[in-house]
Amino acid sequence: MASLSATGLSLIETKLDSYTKKENGIPGLVFTAVNRNGERLINYASGLRGIGSVESMTADSTFWIASCTKLVTSVAAMQLVEAKKLSLDDADIVETIAPELKIVQVLESAPDGSVHLVEKRGRITLRMLLTHTAGFGYSFLNPKLKKWSEPIGLAEYSCLNYDIFRQPLVNHPGEHWEYGVNLDWVGLLVERVTQMSLDDYFRKFIFDPLGIQNIGFFPTSAMKEKLVYLHDRLSDGKVDIRQDGHLYRRPLVAQGKEDMKDIVNSGGAGLFSNPEDFCEIIATLINDGFHHKTGNRILQSGTVDAMFSNQIPQFPDFGRGLPISSPKPYLTHAEAELYPQPHQQPQGWGLSFFYLVHSSPTGRSAESGFWSGLANLIWWVDRTHGVGGLMASQMLPFGGKSFNLPWNNPSNRP
């Protein structure tokens, strides 16, 4: 069973404190790691909930986990694949449930820089949506999509249907990997096939079976009392509380079901959680879909095996040679490479997350999975070593040296 020595624990805590104590460093961090039984190997909070706040960061603080939501949505989708209500490769089922995906067009660029829509060449499957090969993008990553949306623009975090479900494709289905609103469509498929909101489905079939309550699309009053401030790193390197308020604010101000019914339950980015509860999901995946504490199974072991396998071997360099400028630099840094690996090693993608075909120099095992959230959170699952966890902060833009150092620096290994 995975464990952590006192020396290792002390080293990690000291490293985390060094990042939060530094001038214009990360205001606050929580790092939680668990083994397959859900035992917490570390559950450490460093820094403050917000710059200028008198409240220390705590391990039960509430974070907008953004794209970490995608992992939960993929669990829901695979539950429905097990129940034969969805199929990974049947485009007919997808188009029956979401006929919009049958007629969606592809955005292409002309030599003069203009953009126009054309008919798509292929059909969209659930597997494509889960692997970001269906053709959708994000306006903060794809200049073509940003240009198409102007002068009105797209705001994927507005919680409005328009900003997510009326986007065109930016690639033809199955022809490229590109990160985008694909998992929002997966969430919509889950809602339509079950006739439940995604919030209700997650609660009944994932959260309640795992005994977790401090997670959801609409934070409770108790969760909001522990909400971490969202910060901006400004162009001069200084860090401040986000002046326009929380980027994902509509669920935070919703009052009752009347307000909630018009807010998209975003399967790509909508959840709020504390690290402890999110890591119960992590522990369950480490343990092949079985939750040790409650004795409940949310996925069959073979399904978890499928999720943690390379789904796109035809794209071994999908996360390399990426654009080095960002259409919306206030939301995300441009990274030429998604994850530092020797370039002779193929990259992999599981069912909704980055998958390591080979072990990494930062200490993660081959067959591990991980992914991140826009506000600089990263989860990982290492089923080989029986360990996983979440590192959580709340700062924009995504990426950059200040967050990648504590996460990807091999010298941080205990």
| Per-residue pLDDT tens over the stretch 13-54 | 999 999 999 999 999 999 999 999 999 999 999 999 999 889
Cα(285)–Cα(290) distance, integer angstroms: 7
Q: Give every CB contact of residue 315 below 8 A, 6+ residues apart in sequence.
A: 133, 176, 177, 347, 349
Cα(146)–Cα(79) distance, integer angstroms: 34
| Per-residue pLDDT tens over the stretch 54-86 | 999 999 999 999 999 999 999 999 999 999 999
- Bigger pLDDT: 324 vs 17: 17
- Give 405's pLDDT tier (boundaries 50, 70, 90): low
- Average pLDDT over the chain, rounded to an integer: 95
Query: How many C-beta neighbours within 10 Å does residue 336 have?
Result: 10
pLDDT of 413 > 60? The answer is: no
Global pTM?
0.96
Query: Which token pair is 216?
Result: 């959801």
For 235-263, give the DSSP string.
Answer: TTS-EEE-TT--TT-HHHH--HHHHHTTS
| Per-residue pLDDT tens over the stretch 356-374 | 999 988 888 999 999 999 9
| Per-residue pLDDT tens over the stretch 234-291 | 999 999 999 999 999 999 999 988 999 999 999 999 999 999 999 999 999 999 999 9
Three-class DSSP category at 53: coil
Q: Give every CB contact of residue 162 below 8 A, 6+ residues apart in sequence.
A: none
| Per-residue pLDDT tens over the stretch 146-173 | 999 999 999 999 999 999 999 999 999 9
Cα(142)–Cα(327) distance, integer angstroms: 7
Cα(246)–Cα(252) distance, integer angstroms: 9
What residue type is assigned to position 97 of the chain?
I
Question: Could you give the percent of the chain with pLDDT greater than 70?
Answer: 97
* Residue-wise burial string across 126-151, b where 16 or more C-beta atoms lie within 10 A, e elsewhere: bbbbbbbbbbbbbbbbbbbbbebbee
The whole-number pLDDT of residue 342 equals 87
The whole-number pLDDT of residue 117 equals 98
41-66+195-412: CATH class: alpha beta
**DSSP bridge partners of 216:** 272
pLDDT of 412 > 70? The answer is: no
Domain boundaries defined on the chain: 41-66+195-412, 79-190
pLDDT of 227 > 50? The answer is: yes
Q: Give every CB contact of residue 396 below 8 A, 6+ residues apart in sequence.
A: 230, 231, 232, 233, 242, 247, 330, 331, 332, 374, 375, 376
Q: Give every CB contact of residue 14 below 8 A, 6+ residues apart in sequence.
A: none
